[in-house]
Structure 1
Amino acid sequence: MTRFPRRHVAGFTLVEVLVALAIVAVAMSAAVRAAGVATQGSGLLRDRSLALLAARSELAEVQLQGRLRGGREVRDCDQGRLRLACVREVTRDGELFSVRLEVHPRDAEGPPLARLNARLPVPDAGAVRP
């Protein structure tokens, strides 16, 4: 039986290539996961910013109306494609009205995306309906 002499061949073995591919696959899955978390975080930040804008708009509307009624009111206050519900609670505290605004997503349960509290002076007695 004739034996051929083994020559030293430069290169990688199949096992080394498979280990390298496994390492690259784990690294790529971690990168995709990190990108997903970053995207989700920026989406929540966008929703909170739009909710705060809606709350400020509601407060400006309350100030411009000139008449305040005590009680609780829930209204739709959409911002673009974001469906929001604004909850307005007005209570009278002496010479001031206390206005509390909360903005929630309309289609989901959970904590409010934005809260805003303000104390406004009582307008003329003829315009007030406590």
Structure 2
Amino acid sequence: MATWQRNDAPGFTLVEVLVAMTIVAVSLLAALRVATQGVSHADELRGRLLAEWVAADRLAEHRARGDWLPVGMRTGVRRQGNLELGWREEVSATPNAAFHRVDVFVFVPAQPAHFLAHSTGFVVDPSESGR
């Protein structure tokens, strides 16, 4: 019959080492996932910032030119940074005939229903501004 001898040597058993390695692996995977999500959120914020600039630029351009925009919808594409962004302007009448409301929506052209930015402004009829 075989006899079992107790080994009093210091150290860890194989099971203890495997459990510790599993804990470390799971922790590293969780940290990697958090880092990856942080990068994707940073890209989303960057895209939204550039889209806000496009919307503000569209409204500032109309104010600078003194444009009197007809009621309706206009679309276009603008490159901002390294992104190609689509924009849609919806011009609507207001109770005061001297003003038109301009809503600018900015989106990625592949997803026109998902707006990255939305700004609203007003344009003044140049023929009414002298009153």
TM-score by length of 2: 0.85
- The question of whether the paired residues in 2 share the 8 Å contact of 1:74 and 1:88 is answered with yes
Instruction: Quote the offset at 1:36 in angstroms.
Output: 1.0
Please name the residue that 2:41 is paired with.
41
- Structure 1 distance, partners of 2:29, 2:20, is 14
Unaligned runs of 5+ in 2: none
Identity of aligned residues (%): 34
Q: Deviations over 1:62-87 (max 9, x none)?
A: 11222222221101112122110110
- Structure 2 distance, partners of 1:9, 1:17, is 16
Q: 1:100 aligns with which of 83, 100, 103?
A: 103
Please name the residue that 2:123 is paired with.
120
- Structure 2 distance, partners of 1:75, 1:2, is 86
SS across alignment from 2:69:
coil
- Structure 2 distance, partners of 1:78, 1:72, is 20
- Structure 2 distance, partners of 1:103, 1:8, is 71
Q: Could you tell me which amino acid in structure 2 is paired with residue 29 of structure 1?
A: L
- Structure 2 distance, partners of 1:33, 1:123, is 55
Label 1:4 to 1:41 Cα distance change in 2 as closer, same or farther (>3 A).
Answer: closer
Q: Could you tell me which amino acid in structure 2 is paired with residue 85 of structure 1?
A: G
- Structure 2 distance, partners of 1:4, 1:32, is 45
Please name the residue that 2:64 is paired with.
64
- Structure 2 distance, partners of 1:2, 1:117, is 87
Backbone CA RMSD of aligned residues = 2.0
Q: Could you tell me which amino acid in structure 2 is paired with residue 77 of structure 1?
A: R
Instruction: Quote the offset at 1:37 in angstroms.
Output: 1.0
Please name the residue that 1:54 is paired with.
54
- Structure 2 distance, partners of 1:56, 1:2, is 85
1:4-83 correspondence to structure 2 within 5 Å: 6-70=6-70, 71-83=72-84
- Structure 2 distance, partners of 1:66, 1:83, is 26
How many residues are aligned here?
125
**Divergent runs of 4+, >6 A:** 1-4
